[in-house]
Amino acid sequence: MSLPLPSLRGTRWAGAGAWPRVAPAALALTGLALFGSAAGHGFTSWDDDLYVTRNPAIRDLSIDGVFRLFAAPSICNYHPLTLLSFTLEHAAVGFDPWLYHVDNVLLHLAAALLAFELARRWLGSGAGAVLAAALFLAHPLRVESVAWVAERKGLLAAVFCLASLLAYTAHLDAAPGGRRGRLYAVSLALFLLALLSKVSAVSLPAALLVLLVARQGLTGRAALGLAPFAALAALFAAIGYLAQAADGAVKGLHGGSLGSHLLTPFAALAFYAEKLVVPVVLSPRYVLAPAAGPGDPRVLVGLGIAAVLALAAWGSLRRERKAFLGIGLFAAAWAPVSGIAPSSTIAADRYLYLPAFGLFLALGAALGGAAPGGRRWIDPLRRAGFAAACLFLGWCAVLTPSRVEAWRDGEALWTDALRQDARNPFARNQLSVEMLARGRYAEAAAEAAEAGRLGLREPRHLFNLALAHRGLGDPEWELETARAILRIDPGFVPAWLVVARRLREDGDLDGCERELDRLLAERPDDAGLLLERGRLEEARGRTEQALALHLAALERRRDDAEAILGAGVLLARLGDRPRALRCLERALDLEGGVLPPGAVERLAELRAVLAGR
């Protein structure tokens, strides 16, 4: 069965001549001007440590090391191609951040050029294509994806998705034969690369379906050609879900009820509309409450926006279908991150990185072409709208560099977030993490306490306060904080480690052993528990057993400074001075700035042992 619709085949590239050659160069130079300063930025403690600076997996470029990247999920996700990109960068420059940032900028430029080529092919309007691509390139909502190293996965996935769409477009336009089949295979292979970069690329088959309808109408045979794409999407959706579930990252319904959960995407849509039109107050982590119900003003606005988009898409479907294509692409790309899938984050700038291209495409279609059907009275309105869009684009070009500067390091990022919203508990918590990494423990304690006061009461967040008290040399408050956390979550291991360490330091070695053995029976591979068990054996004078436990902890967490230095102390006591010195050098060479308090203590101890005191 075929849906009889007029075809977009043969649409002419309006403004032919120099435009197709000049526009890509102009976009690339503009992108470098807007985002180039990111090359001088550092890492942040917001997932950059998990993905790069404290990720031992990216330090092994051997065949076995690369195989391990692809063999299993990590960091709550399955994104081996992203980790491989970090591995290659580490092999080239170690942990010098400039290359990581430069590659993010280059990926964004590649995505913008692919967006331009797609808009050129789909719209048949030079002005419309340039407008869509320029907005995709320069809008301030792009900055989070480009300036944040850990969001490499989103950039890679977007580049491969756009390239897959381009190859599929060429496949649809090619004459029957071998070349058409090869283009189909290329599109499928690029989709696989997108999935290996970030699982949220699973929405591409829906985008291809929209493209299929817009380009030539829907037939059973054409739809059947999407089956391999759909099969890959289903496989990776399952892998992604299992990866999230294994790390406890699968969350419950937004608002605690099905009704609130289903309405929350409309609240998010209203939120995004504000950020797209007035991109001034931006943050790496927004405080956005779930929908309160059908009467929630955000829900009503979101429903109105959804209705307007649906009507515009339907009207376009019966005419040129260009706006339908853009709106359909937005809906397909946004669906996985709209909030309909339970997650801890309802809205984020990075969630609009690829979906916004669909909206910019629809805007380019509406403003960049000639009036259809001879309705010349529309042309002055389009020209006025296009001029307004160009002014908006100029405003974006002013806002974006300052937003890039806000990402220069973690302290600047979260300080800026608190300037936008002083009551943002996530920003307070992350600023506390940054202060801990810099050894500024009093400031870390103040920010962690304020985050808790503002409602961030999860144990992993509250534990920052315990770490700050330890850094301040206040064991009583550290212990009290740990006990308060255990009243909230009796299974939170880091807090139990504080209790066990206090028992050991107070001389209650049997009590310490009972607690550690109980916890190890449930978590035999926990590096922190193995390390503390080694400290217990050390306190009992069993140096060789203690060393074995320290080394077992290092097998599971290879960059633990306290474990490395503790092993060095034990090796020095056993007379193996060369290996002890290597432990010292390895610990001092670790990325991340200031050593944590426990590692500082072990460093002093190792130096004393090596000096013979």
Q: What pLDDT was estimated at residue 2?
A: 40
Confidence of residue 6 (pLDDT cuts 50, 70, 90): very low
Nearest 5 degrees, angle CA 225-CA 185-CA 188? 70
Confidence of residue 610 (pLDDT cuts 50, 70, 90): confident
Q: Is the predicted pLDDT of residue 17 greater than 80, yes or no?
A: no
Distance CA 103, CA 159 (A): 12
Cβ neighbours, 10 Å, residue 393: 17
Place of tokens 């926006």: 305
Q: Is the predicted pLDDT of residue 372 greater than 60, yes or no?
A: no
Q: What pLDDT was estimated at residue 592?
A: 53
The percent of residues in the chain predicted with pLDDT above 70, rounded, is: 94
Q: What pLDDT was estimated at residue 452?
A: 92
Distance CA 164, CA 233 (A): 14
Residue range 566-584, pLDDT digits in tens: 898 899 889 888 998 888 8
Task: Return the minimum-mean-pLDDT range out of 260-274, 299-313, 559-573.
Answer: 559-573
Q: What pLDDT was estimated at residue 378?
A: 61
Distance CA 86, CA 108 (A): 16
Residue range 43-96, pLDDT digits in tens: 998 899 889 988 888 988 999 999 999 998 888 889 999 999 999 999 999 999
The percent of residues in the chain predicted with pLDDT above 90, rounded, is: 64
Direct distance between the N- and C-terminal alpha carbons of the chain, in angstroms, rounded to an integer = 87
Q: What pLDDT was estimated at residue 13?
A: 40
Place of tokens 């039109």: 277
Task: Return the minimum-mean-pLDDT range out of 154-168, 283-297, 579-593.
Answer: 579-593
Nearest residue to 443 via CA among 420, 410, 421, 472: 472
Q: What pLDDT was estimated at residue 12?
A: 43
Task: Return the minimum-mean-pLDDT range out of 37-41, 209-213, 254-258, 531-535.
Answer: 254-258
Q: What pLDDT was estimated at residue 16?
A: 42
Is the separation of the CB atoms in 112 and 64 below 8 Å?
A: no
Residue range 134-169, pLDDT digits in tens: 999 999 999 999 999 999 999 999 999 999 999 999
Nearest residue to 434 via CA among 594, 299, 316: 594
What's the whole-number mean pLDDT along residues 449-457?
92
